[in-house]
Chain A
């Protein structure tokens, strides 16, 4: 069956450092969505990637979809304390259901 691994599970950075989380699939994905969940909060949609090799930017966040559509990454440049939270990749699985990855928890300290 389809398996998607998200790495790392946890990362602790100093404010100003960069951060990257990866989402890797054993099979080709039709699309990837990224969500952010602040501590104690609910997931909030960030972006959707559909095309092979697609790169999208939102201020300090850069999202990539691999050429083979089997992996994706989220890169944050110069992290801030407001970036703290858990970042989930999600993909469309069977029966058009969205399946959430395991998430990467980001901690940012001053």
Chain B
């Protein structure tokens, strides 16, 4: 069963805590992406990675960090420096940029 998985689906954290969102893909895609979506809004790119051990900042990288140690995994850490972290976080992958992107089911993060 191929695809992209994100866990958990819902996540609650207290203000000031760092939290890491998981994203795994078994599509053998080189490129992976993290987006943030706020209610009624479009998708904004946080970070993307075109190849293992390399990643670039997107449009709203401040307060976030990523790693790409394995081809199939691209975890996103929401740090306490992110001023408004409550949002829907979507991970995607593609064979290579800017090919068609396949999205995971997303993680809804709520910071209390």
Contacts and interface: CB of A to CB of B under 8 A. Distances in A.
B48 A33 contact: no
Contacts of B42: 88, 100-103
Interface in B10-66: 33, 35, 40-45, 48, 50, 56, 58
Contacts of B106: 41-42
A98 interface: yes
B105 interface: yes
A100 B36 CA distance: 11
Given A42-B105, A88-B43, A33 B100 contact: yes
Interface residues of A, number: 20
Contact of B103 (A31, A33, A42, A105): A42
Contacts of A88: 42-43
Interface of A: 31, 33, 41-45, 48, 88, 92, 95-103, 105
A97 B90 contact: no
Given A45-B102, A92-B98, A97 B43 contact: no
Contacts of A43: 43, 90, 92, 101, 103
A31 to B, nearest CB: 8
B97 interface: yes
23 contacts: A41-B105, A42-B103, A42-B105, A43-B43, A43-B92, A43-B101, A43-B103, A44-B103, A45-B102, A88-B42, A96-B50, A97-B98, A98-B97, A99-B45, A100-B35, A100-B42, A100-B43, A100-B44, A101-B42, A102-B41, A103-B41, A103-B42, A105-B40
A20 to B, nearest CB: 19
